[in-house]
Amino acid sequence: MADVTSPDAPAKTSGLRKVVTASMAGTIVEWYEFFLYATAATLVFGSLMFPPSDDPYAGIIAAFITYAVGFVARPLGGIVFGHFGDKYGRKKLLQVAIILVGVATFLMGCLPTFQQVGYLAPILLVLLRFAQGFAVGGEWGGGVLLVAEHSPDKSRGFWSSFPQAAVPIGNLIATIVLLVLSRTLSNDDFLAWGWRVAFWLSVVIVAVGYYIRTKITDAPIFLEVQKEVEAKDEVSYGVFEVLKRYPRGILTAMGLRFAENIMYYLVVTFSIV
């Protein structure tokens, strides 16, 4: 007996690919900006945003401390964006996230140096870094969820892997941009203004990512669950409910991510020093 293919299958596949493309575009944007900070912390911020020191590594260590602020902000962003994403929809919150990280990154390119404003420079840097990490925390989880909710059960893991694959692409683009700027400009020009160009370019990348994300919708399965939750006032959801129901799974997943991330950031950040 011949297999019968649903006429809606090509349309569903096309729609899923559009969602995957939109999720990857946003993820590339946000991780370009997240990793741009990592490279700039090694090359630029240590000498420009902190007090002068006889120790050549003092500024770099201070810059990496501000880099750590992003990792503190990321889980907070995931909790907040996840909560409101469950309530109002993934698409809206992902659009907010991409604008927030874009604004924070652009403003980093406008920051005055320590020589110009003193300790206000590192304070502003920390605030913008927190905003950047907060937005990225909401972006990554929301982007993966958006794809997962649109995907068929049998291939959900396959399609959900694409947003994660976009992370190193964002890292690569950030590295290439700074490499080109540092190689085409003199060291003085690069430190004076060249590094800022990489941060200002985020406006163009964010505009493209935001536009692509306007072309998608929340998944039907999400909209159905959302209506059920609204109809039942006694239903609870959120981070505390998840921890209450699945503590072992959550802690196991966190442990696995710790191990993987430690090695990854040793390679892409600290090795540059």
Distances (CA, A) of 273 to 18, 40, 133, 268: 39, 11, 22, 10
Longest dimension (CA), the chain: 80
Give residue 264's pLDDT. 80
Tell me the per-residue pLDDT of 220-243, one tens digit each, with 9 for 90 and over. Answer: 877 777 777 666 666 666 677 788
Q: Rounded to a whole number, what is the distance in angstroms from the first to the last CA of the chain? A: 64
Distance from chain centroid for Cα 106: 15
Percent of the chain with pLDDT over 90: 15
Asked if residue 7 belongs to a domain, the reply is no
Percent of the chain with pLDDT over 70: 91
Give residue 18's pLDDT. 84
Taking 70 as the threshold, does the pLDDT of residue 108 lie above it? yes
Distance from chain centroid for Cα 40: 17
Asked if residue 9 belongs to a domain, the reply is no
pLDDT band for 7, please (50, 70, 90 cuts): very low
| In the block, residue with structure tokens 């770099």 | 60
The answer for residues whose C-beta is within 8 angstroms of residue 149's C-beta and 6 or more apart is: 90, 218, 219, 221, 222
**Considering the chain, what is the average pLDDT of its residues?**
83
Any idea what DSSP says for residue 112? P
Asked if residue 6 belongs to a domain, the reply is no
Domain that residue 128 falls in: 16-272
Out of 29-43, 171-185, 224-238, the most confident range is 171-185
Out of 146-150, 260-264, 269-273, the most confident range is 146-150
Taking 70 as the threshold, does the pLDDT of residue 121 lie above it? yes
Distances (CA, A) of 194 to 43, 181, 245: 12, 6, 50
Q: Which helix (H) or strand (E) holds 174?
A: helix 156-184
Give residue 11's pLDDT. 52
CA distance 180 to 39: 13
Tokens of 166: 């976009």
Give residue 134's pLDDT. 92
Q: What's the CATH number where 95 sits?
A: 1.20.1250.20
Give residue 118's pLDDT. 93
The answer for residues whose C-beta is within 8 angstroms of residue 151's C-beta and 6 or more apart is: 16, 158, 159, 160
Asked if residue 3 belongs to a domain, the reply is no
Give residue 241's pLDDT. 79
- Strand, coil or helix: 238: coil
- pLDDT: which is higher, 134 or 269: 134
CA distance 111 to 205: 20
Asked if residue 5 belongs to a domain, the reply is no
Average pLDDT over residues 204-230: 78
pLDDT band for 83, please (50, 70, 90 cuts): confident
Tokens of 134: 């907060």
Taking 60 as the threshold, does the pLDDT of residue 185 lie above it? yes
Tokens of 103: 């604004």
Q: What's the pTM? A: 0.83
Asked if residue 241 belongs to a domain, the reply is yes
Question: Do 140 and 163 meet the contact criterion of CB atoms below 8 Å apart?
Answer: yes
Counted domains in the chain: 1
Task: Find the range with the poorest average confidence among 1-5, 66-70, 200-204, 249-253.
Answer: 1-5
The answer for residues whose C-beta is within 8 angstroms of residue 55's C-beta and 6 or more apart is: none
| In the block, residue with structure tokens 């920390």 | 126
Average pLDDT over residues 44-57: 86
Give residue 237's pLDDT. 62
Asked if residue 49 belongs to a domain, the reply is yes
Asked if residue 8 belongs to a domain, the reply is no
Give residue 2's pLDDT. 44
